[in-house]
Structure 1
Amino acid sequence: MFVVPRPPSNEAERLKILFSCGILDTEKDERFDRITRLSAQFYDADAAFIGFVDDRTQWMKSVHGGGIAPWADRDQTICQIVIASGKPLVIGDLQSDPRLQGHPALPRLPFRFYAGVPLMTEDRVAVASLCVLKHAPQPADEFELSPLQDLGAIAMDELDLWRRNQDLRRLADTDSLTGLANRRAFDAALDRAWRRFQRTRRPLSLLLVDLDRFKLLNDCWGHQAGDEALRRCAPILSEAGSGSDDLAARYGGEEFALILPDADGAQALETAGRVRSLLASARIPHPHGIDDLVTVSIGIATLGPELDPGLDPGLGPEIGPEIGLDSAGSPETLIARADAALYRAKQQGRDRSVVYTAA
């Protein structure tokens, strides 16, 4: 009888490594497609895939053949066994193997044979699996596993190269003044977060944060004082985010952005509250600010479940109801909504957070 396996003992480290790769929800890549194509051809398989497994889902970076969904809930997969054990798994007949009896995905699978190997880091952490499947069953003891393991090792080499390129890209995508992600990095991260939202239908929130009366600060005390204010605000934005995939960026000029994947409206409001609380504690001087300190206005837009109208986050005098899960057509739509909310915060006197509403 099938029992959902417990996560591996190094699950926290595994997820940290996986998220640091920055590979989830990225576009197709021939380097990985080549490996699944070769795997299917070598084994005369009907399908082959490379799937990365996070805390909730298995996302397919590469698929060759039909019958494989682009993603699946982790507890609905067979590969979770490979990730949990860190060992190869060969099943001659998925329908008759007693270990899988009662597995919820079996009635939907068009395959009978499965073979998968974990993609392991040098520290023996399994972040993904390389698998081949066949419509017809095959004796498990007749399967030659070593070529699939070799192809899995090649896939890990490609992932390691991917990670190194990501590190180099991060250097190029860093704002030199604040140390945050720059606008190019923001655009790429929002695009990934958008694809993740479309895949998982879990919430996605965006905060646009603007320093109030920044021009007056520059005019009165000079651009060096303005630069210093921006530098001191940057770690506040980074600290305010709490998710592993949250991204703080300098959006442009005196405006910052926070991308919050998987954060609903209430969590986005809490994050905005942390930004303003941390900023108040930092006590950055401003010649014409409230109490002679730098303040910010924040515009919030969320795609996801509606905010509880009874919530009182205490983040400002104007907190509108959250939009519901909708079919907004692009990441630019989310930016436009957060920008509209930010404009409203400025109109209403600054030093406050405003949530986008259709009205």
Structure 2
Amino acid sequence: MENPASLFGIPHLVSWIVLTPLIGLVIVGFLPVRAGGRHIEAIRWVTLGVTLLTLGLAVGLWASFDHTAGGPQFVDRVEQIPTLGIHYAVGVDGISLPLVLLTAFLAPLCVLGSWRSIATNVKAFMMLILLAEGAVMGVFTALDAFLFFIFWEITVIPTYCMIAFWGGPQRTQAAIKFLLFNFTGSLLLPAGILALHHVGGTYDMLALMQVEYAPKVQFWIFLALFLGFGIKVPMLLVHGWLADAHGEAPTAGSVILSGLLLKMGAYGLLRFCLPILPEASAAFAPLIQWLSVLAILYGGAMALAQQDFKRLIAYSSIAHMGFVTLGIFGLNTQSVEGAILQMVNHGITTGALFLVAGMLYDRTHDRTINNYGGL
């Protein structure tokens, strides 16, 4: 059951959810920027309107979704480069639908959280929010591995720019560290995807699940994919970029980073490693479970030791995502469902915490916890 009736009768609903922020980006790009607050306010309102429209489409998608059916629904397929097996294919299932809703919910909050705190280059910043939303939607809905990787790489651009150009005093170092870690993941991830294509002969993620891979082949492909996704989670030992990125990012950047980008890593594990490489997933599961438990303990201990409340939230995210990876590699239905629920819960709670942190910082220009006694 690939295309149940849409609540609004809108064809290609998933494609519209992906494309609406990108179309909005182009519209905002053509809006004039002149002296005076009226034009800046128009840019903010148009951006907010686009994100709210996307939220409405996502709610309609959820209302139209058949929760009793298996497999992807609302599927759109267009052959792009048939000779290479590359095609545009998007759709949603029970794994991606909650994350699409989460993305659509957080995007307008990012706009509202930046309404007054971002006073310079407002137009560019709002365009970056829309680019991030569209790219993340693409990651969560892609059914083609090549398309998935394209959207995955696009998400790095707005996050890096937000940190590098609107971040705190140490923004340059934080942005470079963020870029270096993600560049490493960007080398490993396509290596794994190309290996899947080489063996399976397709980028179609549904077809790749039907391919039988030799155990040794699974081992190496799993290692490349796991490290590529693990940097984004981030897993313990590859988490060095997270606290600095959060500490220097503007409020919207932190909400996007923690609320959405971290979920992309866990989503990749769910979408690629478990269904396509089940034997390797089972073999690596005990090690990953131990790493997840250590991440929970380490993240919690480091959070308790922080004096900067944004870094506190960042380290707590390592602990929260440790629960997610622990659930994913529990390798049973209940643990995976719990991991997905935890991903959504973490996106909402950390998004709210970073919005509150941004509000407090805008008023006090201080992030030291001890200075907030009696608040």
TM-score, length of structure 1 as denominator length: 0.26
Q: Kindly indicate which of the two structures has a greater share of residues assigned to strand.
A: 1
Q: Considering Cα pairs closer than 8 Å and 6+ residues apart, tell me whether 1 or 2 has the greater RCO.
A: 2
- From the CA coordinates, give the structure whose radius of gyration is larger: 1
Larger relative helix fraction: 2
